[in-house]
Amino acid sequence: MYNPKSKKAEEFIDHQEVLDTLQYAEANKHNEALIDEILQKAREYKGLSHREAAVLLDCDIPEKNKEIEELAAKIKQDFYGNRIVMFAPLYLSNYCVNGCVYCPYHAQNKTIPRKKLTQEEIKKEVIALQDMGHKRLALEAGEDPVNNPIEYILESIKTIYSIQHKNGAIRRVNVNIAATTVENYRKLKEAGIGTYILFQETYHKESYEKLHPTGPKHNYAYHTEAMDRAMEGGIDDVGLGVLFGLELYRYEFAALLMHAEHLEATFGVGPHTISVPRIKRADDIDPDVFDNGINDDIFAKLIACIRIAVPYTGMIISTRESKECREKVLHLGVSQISGASRTSVGGYAEEEPEEENSAQFDISDNRTLDEVVRWLMEMGDIPSFCTACYREGRTGDRFMTLCKNGQILNCCHPNALMTLKEYLEDYATEPTKKIGYELIEREIERVPNPKVKELVKEKLKAIGEGKRDFRL
């Protein structure tokens, strides 16, 4: 029985409720009156239930689909403005005891070279990332209690935060490691992590068990209930995600929203972010084997419908997606992207020789961070290196309150401009600087509060004179 407040995975992601939702959506995909009613509710910016959102995802009326797209773009503008937060993944180790059939780290793969960074190597990676201009990382590691125990992850986080190279600093470390215990989540919280990210891969239990035939990740309930344990351990920013291509996207979409509803009902705060990775080619992995791949149009619609259903949740797309695809979907709701990513262990400090390729998957956007930053600004977006919220303790529901009170333009917008200015001063090429300075001058005028505007103008000037690390 569906129960969003239940602690049990099979009750808050109730299979029958997902199937009923899909049937309801299918039956109403031409129901203009109902679709209008749902769109009307969505315009109140309070989000939608999984059933309502599923109807929009299935909607088959071209004019209404256009309205869905326009509404998603409007919500994105009103909540997140034109800011796009930048980050990079940092792969610590590809040792793994699991058998995930879509991931080249799976234990049976004997061709991939296994690597684990030492603390010295982590330093080199972090310096290379700082030298590009990154301030925010997502740590990635396979699951291996012997090679990658929690102590190794904690020590690595400490190392990362300790490195100060020129004007560089990593100010926020998000963590994407396997499901673990409340005690370990508490340790991660104490280590000062930002968001704890864990992709569900698929919410469909039967498929999940087939796709994860061996290792601790085989346990569907333990994996699906991980965010509850993370919250119990004191982490109040959690990031959900589904690996699109494994199962039917409609199923995943409804279940993902049910998961968000569960977190909101249980802890009073929904997910901080949702990631939308699509399966990619990798060593030992042919993505065409999985027959639920989605094309760019469906991908764009999924993003638009997520944006409408959970307006307060940030949305992340990685370099799994090409420049063209990112260009198509950014305005529909994406608030964070990675740039200049390497998915290999140790790939930032040194280029790996072909035969030593330890990469997790092929990436489709191979541009430098400078190129990505310039491209965003050319489209009128503001690349942001801001990490202020978590450093000011505005996590969980405190961040949501900021959003809900419409204070984004007085707070996030200036922070984005100040961190962009730091980036331009320290790392950008001349053409990027030129576009950036003009953009900042225009955008600062959009800060509504005159006192804040004046203060930020002063800080921007100080950044030009070499001062760093201002935040509101």
Positions in the binding site for ligand SAM (CB under 6 A): 102-103, 140, 142-143, 176-178, 198-199, 201, 217, 243, 277, 279-280, 282, 285, 320, 360-361
Residue 325, φ and ψ in degrees, nearest 5:
-65, -40
Residue closer to ligand SAM by CB (options 19, 289) is 289
Least distance to ligand SAM, CB of residue 221, Å:
15
Number of H helices, E strands in the chain: 20, 9
Task: Give dist(CA 27, CA 462) in Å, integer.
Answer: 59
Least distance to ligand SAM, CB of residue 321, Å:
11
* Residue 113: count of CB within 10 angstroms of its CB: 13
Residue closer to ligand SAM by CB (options 170, 198) is 198
Residue 449 tokens read as 């509060």
Residue closer to ligand SAM by CB (options 51, 272) is 272
- Quick one: which H or E segment has residue 338? strand 336-338
Radius of gyration of the chain (CA): 21
Least distance to ligand SAM, CB of residue 208, Å:
12
Task: Give dist(CA 386, CA 284) in Å, integer.
Answer: 37
Residue closer to ligand SAM by CB (options 238, 285) is 285
Residue closer to ligand SAM by CB (options 285, 403) is 285
Residue 238, φ and ψ in degrees, nearest 5:
-120, 150
Q: Which residue has the tokens 């935040």?
A: 471
- Quick one: which H or E segment has residue 458? helix 450-464
Q: Which residue has the tokens 């990362």?
A: 160
Residue partners of 183: CB distance under 8 A and separation at least 6: 233
Least distance to ligand SAM, CB of residue 222, Å:
11
- Amino acid (1-letter code) at residue 203: Y
Least distance to ligand SAM, CB of residue 233, Å:
16
Least distance to ligand SAM, CB of residue 280, Å:
4
Residue closer to ligand SAM by CB (options 4, 89) is 89
Least distance to ligand SAM, CB of residue 239, Å:
11
Give the ranges where 218-295 is alpha helix by DSSP (H). Answer: 220-224, 226-232, 249-267
Residue closer to ligand SAM by CB (options 280, 342) is 280
Distance of CA 233 to the CA centre of its chain: 21
